[in-house]
Structures are given as structure tokens and as C-alpha cells.
A and B are shown apart, each in its own frame.
Chain A
Amino acid sequence: MADTILKVENLSKTYKVRKSAPIKAVDCISLEAYRGEILGVLGPNGAGKTTTVKMICGLIKPDSGSILINGKDNFKQRSAAMEHISAVLEGNRNIYWRLTVRENLEFFAGLKGKDPRAIKKEIDYYIDFFGLGTKKNETASKLSRGMQQKLAIAVAMVTGSELVLLDEPTLGLDVKASYDIRDLLKQIAAENGRTVLLTSHDMNVVQDTCQRVIIINSGRIIAQDKVSNLMRLFDVKAFKFVAEGRLSENLKQALTQIPHLALVEEEVDTIITLNLEEPRNFYRVVELLGSEDVSLLSINRQELNFEQVFMEILGRSENGGEKMAAL
């Protein structure tokens, strides 16, 4: 059923940094985006979101793996691939501050091979759509931060690209501007059938705008599901993280600091089960596991059965009375 616009396979990227250990930013990521959906890529700082986005944009060369945009390889068939993709990159201005709203839209349309005169209607439409009508002849430098971000997104839209990548589109915006942009994004997908891939480290943004979400941490995909399913995941009182590899004493100690968490080692010393009751600690656990060389095999909702509850209580009690009391 699903029509794939973006297909990423086994993408990896390690940054070689002089005088320090190489940084594995993206580790064998595979994902697909389907036409017409808003796909969220969620992950904490340094998870590898920007690196992934820029590789898809053909701005960073991956070490390995392939990226197909509408079936075109984004390095080997660059021009063809670039026709279908536009991006608003993180923290960047992405637009010319010295050009007006309209001039920006016209210039970037040309850059994507669209004659601004031929798409005048679209340009007017997006000026209105993003509420830039009264500012269309102002230079971008005179717009508020939120308006500038709207213009950047409008520029990405007006080029007619089917796939629009937005890296942290609401970062640094005030609450009102952030909500505005979220609403606009939802409308865009609904009305124009575009595919939007947006990254965020903010669960709320993703929950609010996306249908499907991919969670990445330390360059790896650790969960991938419909947002509705994932929310159910968060609703449930507990999760089970299955991690392979030996946990160091330091890591164990750090994990047990987290309230409502129980750590159970299964099968010799390779598989560890963690039960956790508070959703807001979810990231903390992921982060801690990611901070060391532990490979996370899966994250699952955990329906606690009696035995597990028992084990958990046991685990907590071993961690001291304080946590017992919190139960």
C-alpha cells in the first residue's frame, strides 16, 4: 500500500576527529518514509539526527549504506534526486536575510529548476499560507525568528519537492511560534500530500505532528512505530529494555539512581532487563545505555506479571529502603 519516497539502507557514518577517538554518529540505520506522511525522528542531543538528515540531503558523505530519493541515489544521480527533496537545516538561516520574503521564494524556486513566473500562484499561496502576506516585501532580516523559520519552510515547500526535511524546526522558537509551525505542518501534509521528515528531541513536537516516529540514540534506531502505538507504550507503567553486553559497575550504579527502576540480569551476564515506571525517565535510561558500549536489542512495553512484580520489588529492596518507600 505504502508508496516509498525515501529509502535509507544500512547508513553509517563515523567522524574522524583529529587527536581523539572517532565518533560513530550514525550506526547502520535503515528507514523508509512514505508519501504523504509526517515522519518524526526523535532522539536526544547527539543522537545522530542532523548527521542522518544531512546525509539524506547529500551534504555529508556516508561511510556506507545507500539513500534513494524517489528511487534515485542521492550521490550517484544527484540532480535527479535533488529535484525531489528540500530541507530546512538545523540552526541555519537557510534563507537570504538581504532578500525580501518574495525574492527568497523566487530565488530558491529557480535554484530548484522552477521558473518563478510559472509558479506565481504557488508562491502567493505559500505567502498566505504561512501568514507572511503583510511582510512579503520586507527583507528577511527584519522578520521575527518565528517568521524567518516559517519563510524557510515556505521556501522548502514552494520548490515543489515531494520530500521536505526539517531538522529541529521549532528549536529556539517561543511557544506561540512553535505551535503555529506545528499546526502549519499538519495542514501541509493533509492538504498537499507532501512527505515531511522532521527531527526533534522534543517528544511533544513529534507526538503532536507526526504519524510515525523513529527513535534513535547513539546513532542507532531503537524503536520505530506509529505514534499512537508508542504513546500506548508510554502509557503503560513499565518497559522492558533488553540490552546485550556487560554493564559496568558505574553504569549499573547510575541506572539504579533512577527512581522506579529495577535491574535484573538474566542468562549469565549478557541480557539485562530493566523495568521502569515513569515515562520521563525513559530517555535517561536510553541515554545511559547509549553512553557506554551497550547494544540495545529492543524496547518493549511490559505487562507486568506477578513474577516480575515480585522481582522488581526484590530489585528495589536491594537498592535500599528509599526506593521501597517510593513504590
Chain B
Amino acid sequence: MAKKWLLFKQLAIKSWIMFRRYFFNSLGGIITLYVIFLVIFLGYKGIAGLGPTDQYLSIEGILVGYILWYLALAAYQDVAYTIQNEAKQGTLEQLYMSVHGFGWVIGFQQIINAFYSLLIAGILAFFLMLTTGKWLNIDLLSLLPLLTLELICFAGVGFALGGLMLIFKRIDSYMQIVQFVLIFFVAAPPSNWLLRLMPGTLGASLIQKVMNGGEALWQLAWQDLLLTVGVALAYLLLGVAIYRICERKAMKSGTLGHY
């Protein structure tokens, strides 16, 4: 247990060093996200007068959707790109030789990454709200569990893609497509069963209800909450299972550290 804590601490220190050392990089990322939103926002204002808007098409809805999209993106890219970058840097095999087992290493790394993603999402949300003048309901007690479930769900997607990267190596262009598919997942209303089972879709709608509709966690339908938990865990387990299969294959074909 002490050893696991040591691992967590070392990973956290490494992440913090990298974050600090490459702060302007991170800042650039946040500014880009901010600018993209501005473009969407101004475009939206241009067409807003055209007809009635429902919850998803209101500016608040788009704001929440945008932040969720960022989080989804961050969650799956953190996993997949961590694995890819480590392979590129020639450190993946070193991580595999850790005494803690690679599962712990990548698991802890994800928790740490999630922390940074939430932090950045928070900062981004603040500036977006400031710009649009629409103040959302930031009820952390209700939001954090739901956001965590979203992160878990997309981390699952990330593990699956990270595993495929171990085998197929050059799948960056497909990763780009996934970015856009994610918009669909977090923006689609969970109007039927299929959509409710898509990664993050139901969770996103619940977050909309909290941030945009002002509801609290306990006011949400328990069936929806339960399903969101189930879906998140299912995608995580599925993703990890796919990763493990790919990992075993890469170890057989001797391509674990190749890139």
C-alpha cells in the first residue's frame, strides 16, 4: 500500500513538473478552446433569431455541451495519447517493467490527468460564462459525481483506442474522427434506448439538467442515475478488456514498445 502511494506521488510530481514546465503549451490549448467557442457563440447569435430553441440549442445548452465535449476529449485522449507518447518516447517498456504493474501506473496516471482536465474545464467554464453572461448552476456536489462518471466512460473509450494503437500504431487519423463522434455522444438527446447506451450520452443529459436546468443530483430519476453508472462502468471494463487483449497481442508479436 505504501508502495502504491509512492507510485501515485511520483506520477503526480511528474505531471505537475510537466504541467508547470509546459504551462504555456497548456495555456495555448485553453485559449484555442476558448476561441473556438467564441466562433461557435458568435455564429449561434447570428442564427438564434431564426426559430424557437429547445434546451439543447440554447446558448446554455451549447456551453455545457462544449465543456462536456472538452472533458470527453481530454479523457479519451489522455489515455490513448499517454500510451502513444510513452511508446514514442521509448518509456512505455520502462513503465511495463515497473514493480507496481502497468495497470496501476496507467490507472493512477488517469486519475491525475482527470484532475487536471477538471481543473482546466473549470477555468474554461468560468471564462465562457463570463463571456456569454450566462451563469450556469455550478453545484459541485451534484456535478462532480456525474462528471466523474463521464470521465470514466470516456477513459474506457481511451483504453480501447490505446490498445488498438499498440497494435496498429498509426491510427491518428481515426483518432481525429473519434473527436467528432464524441460531439454526437455528448450532444445527442437520449431519446431512445440505443442512445441511452451510447458512451456518455445519458450522463451528458443529466449534467445538462443540473447545470442548465438547475436540478440537484437527488432530483434526477434514479433509474437514469443507475443506468449512467452502469454504462460508465461497462465502457470502462470493455475498454480495459480490449486494451488487455491488444497488449497480449503486442507482447506476442514483440511490438509493445515499437512506434
Contact = CB atoms under 8 A, between A and B. Distances in A.
Contacts of A177: none
Interface in B1-58: 3, 6-7, 9-10, 13-14, 17-18, 21-22
A106 B93 contact: no
A113 B10 contact: no
Nearest to B251: A61
A111 B95 contact: yes
Interface string A90-117: 0111111111000100111011110110
A131 to B, nearest CB: 22
B99 interface: yes
A78 to B, nearest CB: 7
Contact of A60 (B9, B90, B91, B251): B251
Contact of A107 (B14, B22, B90, B252): B14
Contacts of A139: 21
Interface string B217-259: 0000000000000000000000000000000100111101100
For the residues of B in contact with A, the DSSP-based class is helix
B93 to A, nearest CB: 5
A96 B93 contact: no
Interface string A46-61: 0000010010011111
A98 B97 contact: no
B197 interface: no
B133 interface: no
A264 interface: no
B97 A113 contact: no
A61 B254 CA distance: 8
A82 B99 contact: yes
Contacts of A91: 90
Interface in A264-309: none
Contacts, number: 93
A287 B117 CA distance: 54
A89 B93 contact: yes
B3 A58 contact: no
Contact of B97 (A15, A86, A97): A86
Interface string B78-120: 0000000000011101111111110001000000000000000
B85 to A, nearest CB: 10
Nearest to A112: B99
A259 B14 CA distance: 58
A179 B99 CA distance: 32
Interface residues of A, number: 39
A78 B22 contact: no
Contact of A87 (B10, B91, B95, B97): B97
Contacts of B17: 99, 103
Given A86-B97, A113-B99, A16 B13 contact: no
Contact of A93 (B14, B18, B91, B99): B91
A74 B91 CA distance: 19
Most buried by B among A13, A60, A98, A115: A60
B18 A98 contact: yes
A60 B14 contact: no
A89 B257 contact: yes
B22 A111 contact: no
B46 to A, nearest CB: 42
Nearest to B10: A110
B97 A96 contact: no
Interface in B135-183: none
A14 B53 CA distance: 62
A321 B213 CA distance: 99
A95 to B, nearest CB: 7
A79 interface: yes
B3 A111 contact: no
The 9 tightest CB contacts between A and B, nearest first, are A110-B10, A92-B90, A93-B90, A113-B99, A111-B98, A60-B254, A61-B251, A82-B99, A113-B3
28 contacts: A15-B253, A51-B254, A58-B96, A59-B97, A60-B252, A79-B100, A79-B101, A83-B99, A86-B97, A89-B90, A89-B93, A92-B91, A92-B93, A96-B14, A96-B89, A98-B18, A99-B17, A103-B14, A106-B13, A107-B14, A108-B94, A110-B9, A110-B10, A111-B10, A111-B99, A111-B105, A113-B7, A116-B10
